[in-house]
Amino acid sequence: EVQLVQSGAEVKKPGESLKISCKGSGYSFTSYWIGWVRQMPGKGLEWMGIIYPGDSDTRYSPSFQGQVTISADKSISTAYLQWSSLKASDTAMYYCALSGENYFDYWGQGTLVTVSS
Amino acid sequence: EIVLTQSPATLSLSPGERATLSCRASQSVSSYLAWYQQKPGQAPRLLIYDASNRATGIPARFSGSGSGTDFTLTISSLEPEDFAVYYCQQRSNWPSGTFGQGTKLEIK
């Protein structure tokens, strides 16, 4: 069974750094793209970026380029999304999603990130 | 970046009625369009891919059509569990993509 299990909710202060994770199982982790999607409170889905763990090829949406870093550790089948300096506007639910046929077939349960002073 | 515009923003219908949701792209995406359903507190679920193909386990009452810039998701007869938010997503410039802003399907 394909599963994406994300790390737990985080509460951070502005300016702090953060790295959240998404562990894949039940499939060949290095063979499929994993994307990250933001959903701000009460808002829609936003494509942040995507990584191919096999060779770490990474693409960012223009809106998120330079704002976050996406990475993967294939030795532990885990993808990451990180911030070096959080802002209050980063408060959102973040989903990782697996692309099987070039769409997001499987989704993680989401990680809620709250940034507040 | 390709912009997807969904309409209407909110659709109020009753169970048993037919729902028609629209997604328009700012430039042609060929047939590289998907539809997702999201219920409160849940992750999105893939319904339709490549404009008209149902994903695994999706009931036949869901259908998609369109190509180029204009796409439609149709739910032939609404069930109570179909009331949710629906998003379209294009992947014509894979591995990049964009989502529409969503249509909320609510009970009338």
| Contact residues on chain A for B87, CB-CB shorter than 8 A | 44-45
Mean pLDDT of chain A: 97
Residue A70 CA to residue A79 CA, distance in Å, equals 7
Residue A30: pLDDT over 90 = yes
| pLDDT tens per residue across span A68-78 | 999 999 999 99
Confidence (pLDDT) at A100: 80
The C-alpha of A13 sits at a distance from chain B's nearest C-alpha, in angstroms, of 24
User: Which of these, A46, A20, A35, A90, lies nearest to B94 by C-alpha position?
Assistant: A35
Q: Which of A59, A104, A108 sits opposite B46 (nearest CB)?
A: A104
Nearest chain B residue (CA) to A111: B43
pLDDT at A85: 98
Model confidence at A37: pLDDT above 90:
yes
Contact B44, A107 (CB under 8 A): yes
pLDDT at position A24 is 98
The per-residue pLDDT string of chain B (108 residues; one tens digit each, 9 = 90 and over) reads 999 999 999 999 999 999 999 999 999 999 999 999 999 999 999 999 999 999 999 999 999 999 999 999 999 999 999 999 999 999 998 899 999 999 999 999
Q: Is the peptide bond before B95 cis (omega within 30 degrees of 0)?
A: yes
d(C-alpha B22, C-alpha B9), whole Å = 10
What pLDDT shows up at residue B94?
87
Confidence of residue A102 (pLDDT cuts 50, 70, 90): confident
Which residue from B41, B14, B42, B22 is spatially nearest to B87, judged by alpha carbons? Answer: B22
Per-residue model confidence as pLDDT tens digits over A49-67: 999 999 999 999 999 999 9
3-state secondary structure A82-104: EECCCCHHHCEEEEEEEECCCCE
Q: Please list every residue in chain A whose beta carbon sits closer than 8 Å to the beta carbon of residue B40.
A: none
